[in-house]
Every structure is written in structure tokens, then in C-alpha cells.
Structure 1
Amino acid sequence: MLNGRVKITGLKHAGIRYFLVSAIAASLFSLPVFASQSVNAGGRAAVAENPFKVQEIAEFNTPWAIAFLPDQRLLVTEKAGHIFLTDRAGKKTEVSNVPAVSFEGQNGLLDIAVSPDFTSDRLVYFTYAEPERSGKDVLSSLTLARAKLSEKDGKASLDDLTVMWRQLPKSKWGQPGGIIAFSPDGKYLYLSSGDRMNPKTAQDPKLALGKVLRFNRDGSVPQDNPRADLAGQDEDNARALTWTTGHRNPYGLAFAPDGKLWLHEMGPKGGDELNLIKQGLNYGWPVVSNGTQYSGEPIPHHETRPEFEPPVVYWTPVIAPAGLAFYEGALFKNWKGSALIGGLASMALIRVEFKEDGSADEAERYDMENRIRDVAIANDGSVYVIEDDIPGRLLRLTPK
């Protein structure tokens, strides 16, 4: 399915040179141990007995993302283009005025995130594949929007919807990415953008594909972005918004308790990655990967190209990671500071531990007997996961 490789010698684009120079410079001052100590956590066995009990809250039709409101109700997106408000007893209220989405393959209604100032502004941010028909093909843009969540007489709606950004040009392929993360200070919005199954786009600085993008919360370009000087020079501000480059299919993006930003992305045949995101760096796809092409054609590994930032942890065989949350609750005491990752192919919940030297490793794998699409942590420390299925269950995990 992915069969292109890109040579990066002799590049004429200043934007690509910038990322390569940034990556080389960063490698001189950051943690070089990652180049030799990337951990392969693939093929790990699940624990013999899960340390939690499972409570079913509600069922949904191919759900994609979950997010807590301050009052601990949940917003749940369904891929076909629906949003529900769900309380902890499982009562569901459908939210109206959701925009039309391109629901096909991997595309549809994607992530949802609650404004850091929700109690005063009532804003929710969400991503979706915005459709456009071109002849026999349905094209789509990864689209970032926000709207006011209004509630009255037991009903809910999205009001004053604003499209903040669209990926251009449009594509007919999957792997959109679309995960939203707010910076710990609430000032900035980070967005993962997949390569739309066109690998070479991840190394093209004029395209927003295969990147992590950084916005002000109103959708404008932060002045301290690596190429903020190029604001307005691309149709979708791709170069001015780019924070990092060289990503494939990123479905997890979250800040750790120490303020570091982490991203996981699906590799091709092998090579799922957990990456520490650092401003201006290039993570190598499709030039390097710890997986292979689906055709069996090899791809050079990260260790062969030190100018690219290697993953801290990778998985071969894959887990197909989706959803990422850091645990700071009180219920699971030995999970403190761990990352919780949903597994699609692995049908598991993955717990990753971090060490003081900056390294990390999969600590435990819990068999969930279904594909886990997203993870969220409640104020009381319980863990909520959503299944990627029809129906897909919303589950609450608490200690046994």
C-alpha cells in the first residue's frame, strides 16, 4: 500500500534544509542515547490477569474519540458524523449542528477536545474529514473547527461553528491524523496530521501532511513557530504552522505531567512509534522506519540516519496505537505518570513507564478483547476507554 521512498540529498527547498539542520543541531545537544536505546516493545504478552474491573457505560456506532467536560460528562464522537453528550450513568444526548463529514475508510468525524477555558467560553474543538466531490472521487481535507456547546431544555447543539484550518490540497486517501492537544498553559493548540497514505508528503515542507502543527487557539500562527516568517505564503499556512515533520499516521498526541509533548504513530509493516516531540525536528518518515513496506521492501532503520530523531519506543510487531492519555489519578497508584495507549491490532490497553534518564518502555499490556480507539482519565482517577466497533462500548476501569 505504501511503496514510495524519498531521497533527501541535493534538496533545493529551504524548508527541508531547515528541518535537517535543526535535527542535526538538536542531536548535538539533546539525548543521543535514544539513537542506540530505542526499545522494541513489540510482541510483548498481556498480563495474566488485568488489575481492574470493567463497567460498561454506553454503546456507540463506531466511536472515535472521548473527552471529559469539567462536570465529568463525556463528549463522544462517532466516525459517521455524530457527537453525543454522555453522563456517567450512560444517558446519551445527541448534539445537533455537527457539520457533514466524509465518512469513508479511515476518514470521518475524528477527535474532540474541550477548551481550557470551557467554564467561561463553552468552546469545544474537533477535527473531521471535510468532504468535496470531484468527479467520481470524494476528496476531503483534514479540518480543525471549534464551536460553542449550547444546552437548553435537555437538548445540545454546536453553535457559532468556525472552521479554523483546512489541509490543502484535498486528498481522497485515509491516514488523516487529527489529534488535538492543548499546551499546559492553555495558550497553544497542537494538531497531528497524517500523510494521507502518500508517504513523500511527510518530507515536503509546503504540505501540512505528515506533520505536527502548532496554532494559537484562534487558529493563527504563533510568532515563535520555527517558520512563522512564512505565514500567509501557503494556502493552508503549512510551513508557518509546522512544529515537527516526518510523521506517518499519528493517532496519539498528549502532554505528560512534566510538560513534554509525546506522539505515537502507526508504522507500516512494523515500526509503530512513540516519539518525544521537540520543536523543529524531523522524525524521518518515509526515509527511515523501524518497519518495512507492506510489499516486504526494506526501509532503512533510524539508526542508519542520525539526522532524523528516532523513537523512544517502537513496536514490531505492531500494536496499532490509538488514543493517548497520561495517568495522574489516585486510584491506580503504581500507574502514576504512565502513558496509557489504546491498541487496535493488539486489542489491548498499553501502559508505558518513563525513567528519569528520558528513556521509556512498555510496562504492562492488558487484554481488552476488542480494539481500543481512545483513552481518557476521569477526575476520580478511573480510566475510560472506547471500543472501535459496531457497537463500540464506552468502558470504565477501576481497581479490583
Structure 2
Amino acid sequence: MSNCDFQPYAVVVAVAGVAIAAAMASAPIADASASQVRVETVARGLEHPWGLTFLPDGAMLVTERPGRVRLVAADGSMSDPIAGAPQTRAFGQGGLLDVALHPDFASNGLVYFTFAELDGGSAGTAVARARLVRTEGAPPRFEGLQTIFRMNRKSSGNRHFGSRLAFAPDGTLFVTIGDRGEMERAQVATDHAGSVLRIADDGAVPPDNPFADGAAAEPEIWSFGHRNPQGAAIHPDTGALWTVEHGPRGGDELNIPRRGANHGWPVISYGVHYSGRTVGEGTEKEGMEQPIHYWDPSVSPSGLMFYTGDVFPDWRGDLFTGGLSGQVLVRLELDGERVTGEERLLGDLGMRIRDVRQGPDGHIYLLTDSGDGRILKLSPPD
């Protein structure tokens, strides 16, 4: 089945300013009208694609939220759904979510997934792994599927599953989990909801986790007090985990989850409830972490990537995240742990950006979130 449909054109984006509170370092939002980027549709016809990862040969694995995984070649040709993937279905905001390769994928073939695991009328975020098998003349398949982590409290809600995966330089795996739409759970450290987890590649608890003994909190928890983290990336120089998460109405956050730290939700937030009511106690409280950056109004960030390639040399070291409600690609300029500038791209496409990844060719690839979702490739203008 071929889905090769290249549609190149230049994109010119005008950006409106957004107020940043004095509590945060000012980061001006650029008018991108002078910027141009070439956009190509590599593949289309994906149903709400959620996660993308590149194989060593340049092909892509893409998850679709209803529960499918497809292999997409560089030319856009797309496989039928790969057998052996985790069993799930679209469940509100849940379903099949992120995908990542084991650091030693070239030798062990292991692929990791996050997904909404269903149990009757309840659901919870889970992590599974399986071995990808590609044999000449046969369709790809997954073998040996194993669920290596399940959150400890399933619930009937269909919101805020998270969930992204990021392998750290030491081989441990970070997993983000949302508060499941029950915000008070994010402050309960004996509940996995609303937390960033750190586990070994087989699901075991690393002995140097902040709560490894399980006495004060669930041993997998790295940090808590998160609302709905939908982007995670490892800083290429420091090795630290960075995340983005959805706020309520306003207050989307960029965070560096600190070991054992409380990141505040829902006690503190730069957003308000959808009704307009104040969230919690305000924007700061002793003992609770501040975000590195926040957005008000919301862009609903999803996916996160540090750009390290050569195709866009002026963007090397910048941080990118997709915007769902914002329907933009956000580029952040950094100075250490401080955001010094912001540019918004692709606003004229009118597409929800679910994931952003750097390809092995140095180009930037995006997933658009719709019933006719696309893989887009960004290049410099001709």
C-alpha cells in the first residue's frame, strides 16, 4: 500500500504576541513572517497517529491511537498494521500512544510502547515491549510482547494518560503519566498518576530511584505533581530529561523533572480552570518546582525534540514541540536552562501537531493529529 504524496510548498507564518508573566524570564515570541520552511507530505491516511521513531535503516514505526503500528518507508510506502502490538483501542484520549527503540535495538530488536490498558470499564497507562522481526518476503511482526509496567490505579476516566518514553544515557527509561483527569491524584506519591517514572529496560525499579524503597512513594516515581505530560526528550549535552505538559486553561509547562521533586499540580499553576476559577493556591509555593517556561494562552504541547542536525544549522541546540490546540510547531531558543526566544511555525497549515522528531537525515519530521493524519518532512527552502 503506497501513501507517497509529496506536496512541497513554502510556509510563511505570522505570530501574535503572548504575555509572559514577570515571574518567568521574558522570552519574546518572534514574528516568523520572514521565515520559510519547505513542507513535504511523506505519508497520509494514518488514523490519529501518536508516536514516531526511526529505525536504523531510515524507515519509521508509527503508532495510531486506535491500536495499530505501521512501518513507513522513507518513500512513504506503508505496511499493513503490524501483528503482535499491544491490545488497546481508542478510549477518549487513550489508546496506543508512544513508541521508542531500545538503545541496543540494532542487536536486540526491542521496541517499547505506552498505551491505555483496558480492564472492563477502567483503564490505566501501561508500558510494553516486543521484538520487531523483519524477514525478507514476509510482513513485519512483533514477537514476545510483554507488559513491563502497569500504573497502580486504573480508573474509568478517559483523559490524561500522558504518555511519552525517553531512554536516558544510563539505559533507564523515563515514562510520563497524566493525572487521569483526577487532578488531586498528582499530589499523592503512592499513586502513579500525574508523575514521571524511571524504570529499568525490563520494568524493574532502579536502586538509585529517589523512592526506591517504596516507603514514602511508589518506587518507580522520579517526580510528581504533573498534569498531563505529552512530550519528553533527553538533553543532548547534560543528559537531563525535559518534558512538556498540558495546563488547564493556560499554564502549559516546559519542565526539567527533578529527582524526587514535586512539580506542583494542582496546588500551583499558571493556568486557570476552564470555568475561570483559580487553580489551587496560586503560581508558586515553597517546596514546589517552577516550570522553565509556560504558555498562556495554551498551545497544548505534544512531542519534544532537541535539534542536533546539520540541515538547519541556525536551529542547532533549539528545542521543538508540537502544538495541538495551537496548531503550530514551536521553536524555543535556549541559554542553558532558560528560554530566551520563541518562534511559531506552520500556523497556516491549520493542523494539530502531535509529535516532532529529528530524522537520521537531519530533517525534522512531524505527525499531524487527525483521522487523515500525515507524516510531514521539513526542509530549508529552495
Please report the TM-score for the alignment, with normalisation by the length of structure 1: 0.85
**CA shift at 1:154, angstroms?**
3.6
How far residue 301 of structure 1 moved from its aligned partner, in angstroms, is 6.5
2:170 matches 1:190: no
Which residue does the alignment assign to 1:177?
Answer: 162
Q: Is the 8 A contact 1:215 1:222 kept in 2?
A: yes
Do the aligned partners of 1:337 and 1:354 also contact (CA within 8 Å) in 2? yes
Aligned residue in 2 for 1:388? 369
- The 1:167–1:88 alpha-carbon spacing in structure 2 relative to 1, beyond 3 Å, is same
**CA RMSD after TM alignment:** 1.9
Look up the match of 1:131. Answer: 118
Q: Which residue number in structure 1 is paired with residue 48 of structure 2?
A: 62
Q: Provide the C-alpha distance between the structure 2 equivalents of 1:266 and 1:361, rounded to a whole number of angstroms.
A: 21
Residues 1:226 and 2:226 are matched in the alignment: no
The correspondence for 2:124, drawn from 124, 141, 149, is 141
Give the 3 Å change call, closer, same or farther, for CA 156–49 of structure 1 in structure 2: farther
* Correspondent of 2:78 among 92, 99, 102: 92
Q: 2:109 maps to what in 1?
A: 122
1:150 partnered with 2:133:
yes
The aligned counterpart of 1:331 is 311
The aligned residue for residue 345 of structure 1 is: 325
The reply on whether 1:245 has 2:214 as its aligned counterpart is no
Distance in 1 (alpha carbons) for counterparts of 2:87 and 2:26: 40
Whole-angstrom CA distance in 2 between matches of 1:302 and 1:244: 20
- Stretches of structure 2 lacking an aligned partner (at least 5 in a row): 1-20
1:276 aligns with 2:242: no
Q: 1:306 to 1:38 in 2, by over 3 A?
A: farther
Which amino acid letter does the alignment assign opposite residue 112 of structure 2? Y
Give the match for residue 241 of structure 2.
261
State the one-letter code of the partner of 1:148.
Answer: R
Offset of 1:46 from its aligned partner?
5.5
* Structure 2 CA distance for aligned equivalents of residues 147 and 49 of structure 1: 45
Shift, 1:102, TM fit: 3.6
* SS class of match (2:242): strand
Q: Percent of counterpart pairs with the same letter?
A: 39
Q: Distance in 2 between matches of 1:285 and 1:325?
A: 24
Higher RCO (CA 8 Å, separation ≥ 6 residues): 1
Residue identity matched to 1:246: G
Deviations 1:44-92 (A, max 9, x none): 5752154310111111111111111111110000000000010110011
Which AA in structure 1 matches 2:82?
V
| Preserved contact between residue 302 and residue 310 of structure 1 (Cα < 8 Å) | no
Query: SS state of the match for residue 178, structure 1?
Result: coil
Matched, 1:313 2:293: yes
Asked whether the equivalents of residues 36 and 303 of structure 1 are also in contact (C-alpha less than 8 Å), the reply is no
Task: Determine helix, strand or coil for the equivalent of 1:201.
Answer: helix
Superimposed CA distance per residue, residues 313-345 of structure 1 (whole angstroms, 9 cap, x where no aligned partner): 100000000000110000101111111100001
What do the CA deviations read for 1:365-386 (whole angstroms, capped 9, x no partner)? 1024200000110122100001
- Are 2:90 and 1:103 equivalent residues in the alignment? yes
Q: What amino acid is the match of 1:224?
A: D
- Tell whether the 8 Å contact from 1:40 to 1:315 is kept in structure 2 after alignment: no
> C-alpha offsets along residues 170-206 of structure 1, whole Å, 9 cap, x if unaligned?
1122100121000023x20000010000001000011
Give the match for residue 8 of structure 2: none
More helix by share: 1
Does residue 167 (structure 1) correspond to residue 142 (structure 2)? The answer is no
* Matching residue's letter, 2:190: K
By how many angstroms is 1:294 displaced? 1.2
Q: Secondary structure at the match of 1:239?
A: coil
**CA separation in 2, counterparts of 1:167 and 1:303?**
29
SS at match of 1:282: coil
Contact 1:322 1:344 in 2 (8 A): yes
Counterparts of 2:141 and 2:338, CA distance in 1: 44
**Aligned residue type for 1:351:** R
Q: Post-superposition, which runs of at least 4 consecutive aligned residues in structure 1 deviate over 6 A?
A: none
- Aligned counterpart for 2:65 among listed residues 79, 89, 109: 79
Give, in whole Å, the separation in 2 of the partners of 1:131 and 1:45: 43
CA distance in 2, matches of 1:103, 1:362: 37
Question: Mean alpha-carbon deviation: is it higher for 368-377 or for 193-202?
Answer: 368-377
Matched to 2:355, the amino acid is D
> 1:374 is matched with which residue: 314, 331, 355?
355
1:363 aligns with 2:346: no
Q: Using the alignment, how far apart are the partners of 1:311 and 1:287 within structure 2?
A: 14
Residues 77, 112 of structure 1: 8 Å contact kept:
yes
Match of 1:53 in 2: 38
Any stretches of 5+ residues in structure 1 without a counterpart? 1-34
- The answer to whether the Cα contact below 8 Å between 1:221 and 1:240 also exists between their aligned partners in 2 is yes
Q: Tell me the distance in 2 between the aligned counterparts of 1:386 and 1:240.
A: 33
Give the Cα–Cα distance (whole angstroms) in 1 for the partners of residues 52 and 84 of structure 2.
Answer: 18
Deviation at 1:155, TM superposition (A): 0.4
